[in-house]
Amino acid sequence: MEYFKQLRGKTVVISRFLQNPVLDIKKSTNPGGLELYYLIKYLREECGVEPIVTYMSVRPPKGDCMWKYWNDIDWKSVDVVIHQPEKFNLFGGGWKNTTIDYLVHFTKNYNGLNLILYTDPSILWANPFKTIINDKRNKMWYVSGRKDRSAIHTIDVSHDLLNKFENFNCEALFIGSNWDLFLQNSKDSRITNGITPKKCNYIKLTQYLTKNELNNPMANNLMSTSEKKYDVVYFGSNRGGVRNRIIKELLDNEEIRSFFIKWNPKFKNSEGIDGGVPHAELKQHLDACKLSLVVGDIAHNNNITTYRIFENAKNQCLSVIWYEYDVNQRIFPGMDLFYVKCKDDIIKLIRFLDEDPSRYSHYLNMQKNILLNVIEKNNNVINIVDI
């Protein structure tokens, strides 16, 4: 908290390189909009900082903030840029000319501090000019409209840009609890040209947005067990690897009626939606489910508290946690039944809840109150660790 309060009076910009930041959280189908909404809220209300949010589209996107087109910003006068990193997954193997123009202009003109928001072990900070020059991913589309693309061209950028970007002053904003563990388990051969910040700032963004969301009166309307069509819901991307193996072991069976959002593996006795749903529509799907499965990658385990925890509590769906994700039960201490190691543990929990319909509301309130109490006891938003 004190770290961000030092930004008072400074010029702060929030940026993404490949696409506009998303702030319309009701329509957003991923956590990115929620992250930025509450980051801006914290900067504005707690630190007295009104950040500029830069964009690349013809018109400013929707959202209550100070939007400014990237070329209209005096980058030499900017003190801090907070970045939401992205994977360089290029459409048709090429960059948009607007992205390259922004990257080149930003790198030439900016000399301040870069704060990188780390929330996902598969999305790390990387040097785009290394990707262009060293990996020879140097094709570019000229975009004249939302879908219009002209012939592809070759990008010509200098090694000076590569070197300046590589040596930018950058620090991490990490939402987890153990930066070293996160880095150790985030190594992936598919992530190239990465840059590791020399300093880590721990930011309790999940706790801050959870407190705000759960204090919303809309979170108090509890549903009855009789209205639940499915036993377990899993909502999230198809991550592959260990996570998928765990989900299959737990839910691919006839005994458990499962539902999937954003990824549909088509297990036995399951239904699903292939695409993501807007944040505002999530409640109607979770209302139909008794339990919401929480499972992460190795870099998440005992480290990053996923936004799914608060989304479950807000949308009246009980969290059931794969035990390796939170071995010491720091999220829900004493709630052993809600930590599972196999499908039989889930079946046992479902039967326990079905035996007495009042148990469902009881444990919903318990999970929500535990989350709020833990946050109140540890309400510092940020601290800093040199690495």
| CATH code of the domain in which 324 resides | 3.40.50.2000
- Average pLDDT rounded to a whole number, residues 231-249: 88
Give the end of a domain, one of 148, 174, 203: 203
**How large a percentage of the chain has pLDDT more than 90?**
51
Range list of β-strands (E), 214-341: 230-235, 258-261, 270-273, 289-294, 318-322, 339-340
Strand pairing category for 139-143 and 149-154:
antiparallel
Query: Are 293 and 320 a contacting pair, CB within 8 Å?
Result: yes
- Tens digit of each residue's pLDDT (9 = 90 or more) over 267-321: 999 999 887 787 778 888 888 899 999 998 888 999 988 888 988 988 889 999 9
Q: How far apart are CA 176 and CA 181, in angstroms?
A: 10
Count how many domains the chain has. Answer: 2
Same domain, 353 and 295: yes
Same domain, 100 and 72: yes
- Tens digit of each residue's pLDDT (9 = 90 or more) over 173-205: 999 999 999 998 886 645 678 899 989 999 888
* 293 strand-pairing partners: 320
Same domain, 117 and 226: no
Range list of β-strands (E), 210-341: 230-235, 258-261, 270-273, 289-294, 318-322, 339-340
pLDDT at 384: 44
Same domain, 9 and 115: yes
Res 329 pLDDT > 90: yes
Which residues lie closer than 8 Å to 156 by C-beta, 6 or more apart? 138
Considering the domain boundaries, does residue 107 fall inside one? yes
Same domain, 155 and 260: no
State residue 128 phi and psi, 5-degree precision: -65, -30
- Tens digit of each residue's pLDDT (9 = 90 or more) over 126-169: 999 999 999 899 999 887 655 555 668 889 999 999 999 999 99
Same domain, 300 and 246: yes
Alpha helices in 170-220 (DSSP H): 179-185, 205-214
Considering the domain boundaries, does residue 354 fall inside one? yes
Same domain, 33 and 157: yes
Which residues lie closer than 8 Å to 84 by C-beta, 6 or more apart? 14, 15, 16, 21, 32, 35, 36, 117
- pTM value is 0.88
Q: How far apart are CA 43 and CA 275, in angstroms?
A: 32
pLDDT greater at residue 3 or residue 129: 129
Q: How far apart are CA 332 and CA 328, in angstroms?
A: 9
Domain ranges, residue 349: 220-364
Same domain, 141 and 54: yes
Same domain, 226 and 198: no
* 232 strand-pairing partners: 258, 291
Considering the domain boundaries, does residue 210 fall inside one? no
Q: How many Cα atoms within 13 Å fall on the side-chain side of residue 165?
A: 23
Same domain, 230 and 128: no
pLDDT greater at residue 352 or residue 223: 352
- Average pLDDT rounded to a whole number, residues 51-59: 92
Considering the domain boundaries, does residue 197 fall inside one? yes
Structure tokens at 59: 């018109």
Considering the domain boundaries, does residue 169 fall inside one? yes
Which residues lie closer than 8 Å to 167 by C-beta, 6 or more apart? none
The per-residue pLDDT of the chain, averaged, comes to 86
Give the end of a domain, one of 173, 203, 233: 203
Same domain, 139 and 224: no
- Render 84-126 in DSSP notation, one character per residue: -------GGG-EEHHHHHHHHHHHHH--SEEEEEE--TTS--B
Considering the domain boundaries, does residue 383 fall inside one? no
Strand pairing category for 199-203 and 382-386:
antiparallel
Res 223 pLDDT > 50: no
Q: How far apart are CA 30 and CA 34, in angstroms?
A: 8
Strand pairing category for 139-143 and 66-69:
unpaired
Same domain, 335 and 275: yes
**How large a percentage of the chain has pLDDT more than 70?**
89
Give the end of a domain, one of 174, 203, 232: 203
Considering the domain boundaries, does residue 348 fall inside one? yes
Which residues lie closer than 8 Å to 105 by C-beta, 6 or more apart? 70, 71, 75
Considering the domain boundaries, does residue 215 fall inside one? no
